Each structure stands twice: as structure tokens, then as C-alpha cells.
Amino acid sequence: MLASWFRLKYPHVAIGALASSAPILNFENITSPYSFNNIITQDFRSESENCYKVIKGSWKKIEDTGKQSGGLELLRKSFRICKNFIDVDVLESWLETAFAYTAMTDYPTPSNFLNPMPAYPVKQMCKAIDDPKSGNDTFAKLYGAASVYYNYSGTATCFNLAYSPDPHGLDMWSWQACTEMIMPTSGSNKESIFPENQWNYSRRAAACKAFYGVHPRPNWITTEFGGHDIYRVLKRYGSNMIFFNGLRDPWSGGGVLKNISKTIVAIVAEQGAHHVDLRFATKDDPKWLRDVRQMEINIISDWISQYYHDLAHQS
């Protein structure tokens, strides 16, 4: 996102920008608030209908179990939660985070971006859910799936829901999401793997006020950088930008998915995840990913050649 905005704001400094997985349209009624969770849902459903149904049906079972006598202890044991704390809402949030971040980082090779994970981690989660060894035990299936994200290394003996380390600085993102980056992404419709939920700005604003003591500025981004009618506006205004989006990335719902002009181009990869094009190359990268990177290199090379050509022919 910053790359595209930097290019628009400082064209005398940057001759071009590669905006990878940049949801610059995820603001102010430009993009559906259901798109983010719809893409996560499709990622899991594309691997296995049973996987989709198990996750979708699990939330009520977790909530019903938590209300029963001894239910919280059963949940704690089922998910290997440390003995210091167990709460239904926090447990559900913990699971939702695993599903969302795994969809976002559904890379074709092993990675350690957010947590150590195998190649194609969504597929691995669904394999755990579909494993016949777990029988009809929904919680065992979910535990196996969550372990792909939280414990692929196999070193965790229990999961501490009362302590959430932040090695990636996500708290800083939470601050931005409460001030300038008001992105409606939490809506879930009837088909979603998450509980049905309507996006509600007032609820977000109240939470931001309670947690940070700030009032969001929901219109600041689109006032400062634009977004509405972007295909018409940028066609006459911008140049030298690449927008890459992988369609398995939940953020792609707010991305630029078609060319705007000859010099503002969209590269879309059906099997791509969040900024997979910018990850280090490996010998196991699929052909489509190698092709994407080569396209980007060719375009950027043209920008640089044109820049030096212009310098050489200044009057």
C-alpha cells in the first residue's frame, strides 16, 4: 500500500512502485466488508467440503460446551490450553486468527513469516481436519488444524491464551487500524466459516475509544490518497505502478485486479498468497510464481531504461 501511495505522492522521488498485495480499495464502502472472510472461506472450501463444514459448525459447539458444567475444562484439555486461563471468546479468537493468517500465508513452500509453517498450510489444516483418526471429535480436528499454525515445529506443550507475544509488531497495526486504516474486513455472511456477523463502524469506533482512547478517522485515507473511482482517476493521473495480488490472499478483495492503463498494471495469480512474489526465491517455487517475478522484473527494467533514456535526452 505504502509503495503505491508513495509513488502517487512523490513521483519526483520514485520512478515506479511495486505494490504487492496492497488492499488500497479496502476503505469507505469501496469494497464489501464480507470479501476478506469470503476469501478465507473459499480457500478452505476449495481444499475440502468436509473441512469447510467442520470449521463452520464448530463455533456453536465450542460455545455450547463452554456453557456446560465442566465444559471449560473440556475445552482446555481438548485444545491443550495452559492451565492459567481459558475463555470461550478468547479461544474462538485464537482459532479465527489461525485460520485467517494461514489463508493469508498459504505459500507453496515452507515459510516462517508469521509462524513456522509447511508448504500449502491450508491444505495441511484440512488434512488434519479430514484425518479419519480423529473420528467425529470436532475438537480434536480443530486442534490438529490449529497446530499447523501454532505448533508446526512441535515444541509447544500447551498454548497460553493469557499471553500473546507480538514479535511482528501487530500491536502497532492495531493502533493504525483504530486511527487511519479503518478497513471493514470483519463481516461474515451465512456461507462464511466464521460466525455470521455484520460490519459495524460504530462498534469499531467504540472499541478503539475504549482501548486506545482515540476516535478513528475513517475518511482520511481516501481523502489523502483517493480510492473511489480509482480506475478512472489513476488512468489520467498515475503511471509506473504494478499491483500484484494472489487470489488466495484475503486482502486481495481490496486490491487492484485489472489493468488501469498501459503503465499501471495488475498481475493476478490465482494460487498466490500475501506478497508471495516478494518472498525469497527457492528451488521449489512453482512455475507460475517464477513467471510472476519475471514479469515484474521486466516491467521495472523498462521503467529504469526509460528513466535513463529521458536523462540522456534532456534538452
pLDDT of residue 104: 96
Q: Residue 315: what pLDDT?
A: 65
- pLDDT given at position 28: 83
Domain boundaries, the chain: 2-30+220-312, 35-150
pLDDT of 288 reads 98
- In CATH terms, is domain 35-150 a member of 3.90.600.10? no
pLDDT at 84: 82
pTM score = 0.94
pLDDT of 173 = 85
> Would you say 36 and 42 are in contact if contact means Cβ atoms under 8 Å apart?
no
pLDDT at 301: 98
CATH topology of domain 2-30+220-312: Rossmann fold (3.40.50)
pLDDT along the chain (315 residues), means of 10: 94 96 93 96 97 97 96 95 91 95 97 94 98 94 96 92 72 88 91 94 93 92 90 90 97 96 97 96 97 98 95 84
What's the confidence (pLDDT) of residue 298?
A: 98
